[in-house]
Structure 1
Amino acid sequence: MKTYCSMLINELQPNNLSNMNLYPHTVERLCHQHKTLKCYIDDLPPEAIYNRLSSDKFSIHETISYLTRYHHIFLNRLVRMMDEVNPYFEVYKPDDDSEFHFTCAKSTGSLLHELYRLRSDIILRIENLPSENFARVGTHSVLGRMNISQWLEFFLLHESNQLFRIFKLAGGFWSAELGQQNNVIYLPRLSNYIDELAV
């Protein structure tokens, strides 16, 4: 039985692109990019996931929490763009989001389940979006006005940057000496150090 993603990718032939305003490679990334996360952390011990390698940077668990919470933020933005005329969105900063701290308190396993479920919700929302609604816009405080397709590209680029962070943190754990890994997850960090535009 074909998955929704494989059917959607097959439907997005060049003659249909103008209707959906999504390229096949964008759909492919939307359907599969997040799944690489599990490959990066599968062989890591808990201390590699929950401990910080640097006191002012997120741990792997905190980064996964951030990615999970950001799925909620993105879904909310999609809903507002459907309901409002050109809504305005500030840069998302977890320091300003009380829900982020509740998300961090969950286990990594439960966060992965939540992230997968939220990704399915986003995919279904995109699937059910009438083609004319892809032209609807929302304005980002830094990136300016973007239509739905551009917001989706931003979401995927932002996610890939966070996945690269996790990839580097996993490698950093194995290369660091055990004696240097004594930081804990809830050490104070620099205010506003990470936001959706952080490099």
Structure 2
Amino acid sequence: MQQLPSSISTRLHYQHKSLIELIDGLSDTQVRQHSNTGQWNILENIVHITLFQNVIAERLQQILTTAEPQLSRYVVEADPAFHEKCRLTTSEIIKELLGARKSLTLFVERIPNEQLSLSGLHPEYGEMTIVQWLNFFLLYEAKLLFEIFKLASKVKMTQNLSMAE
């Protein structure tokens, strides 16, 4: 019988909270600032993390209730909620992210150990157990948090240069 690894449980509880430190001191305008590379801004990345938490919860529910479900790739830009959520303030979307994470964590903690080995088919990575889906989600979230780190660093560096002039 598989158990939820402590590395997954710990990251599920705490990884997302690094976001607060990453954007500390930035205004809503700065969080929405686009670079000239055409990348997403900080807020869009936060919205993506928020929505993806809900998608993972839905996928886990499908795995728990359907025999070997085939799960399609999630394309956040095609999600109507993405554009709607991008209109929220930074504090509103962070509040939503924290609430969604609390719900996801509670949901995951209630999954019986004997069901953690149930699986669903990812279109690119193949058959993955619930534990693997959680690891996939947390690794992807870490990638988005790193993007936010890089974007916030550039904004802060620009801000410091302007203040020095």
TM-score normalised over the length of structure 2: 0.90
- 29-38 or 48-57: bigger deviation: 48-57
Query: Partners of 2:28 and 2:87 in 1: how far apart?
Result: 15
Task: Please tell me the residue identity of whatever aligns with 1:28.
Answer: T
Contact 1:80 1:87 (C-alpha < 8 Å) held by counterparts: yes
- Specify which of 40, 46, 56 is matched with residue 64 of structure 1: 46
Contact 1:37 1:163 (C-alpha < 8 Å) held by counterparts: yes
Report how far residue 171 of structure 1 moved. Answer: 0.7
Q: Deviations over 1:84-141 (max 9, x none)?
A: 1111122211222112111212211111111111111111111111111101111111
Query: Partners of 2:72 and 2:158 in 1: how far apart?
Result: 37
Partner residue, 1:169: 151
Partner residue, 1:101: 83
Query: Partners of 2:145 and 2:76 in 1: how far apart?
Result: 17
Structure 2: stretches of 5+ with no match in the other structure? 161-165
Query: Partners of 1:175 and 1:109 in 2: how far apart?
Result: 22
Contact 1:86 1:137 (C-alpha < 8 Å) held by counterparts: yes
Alignment RMSD: 1.6
Query: Partners of 2:129 and 2:136 in 1: how far apart?
Result: 11
Query: Number of aligned pairs?
Result: 160
Partner residue, 2:6: 24
Partner residue, 2:74: 92
Identity %: 31
Contact 1:53 1:173 (C-alpha < 8 Å) held by counterparts: no
- 146-155 or 87-96: bigger deviation: 87-96
* 3-state SS of 1:71 partner: helix
The 5 A counterparts of 1:16-165 are 18-20=1-3, 22-54=4-36, 56-165=38-147
- 102-111 or 34-43: bigger deviation: 102-111
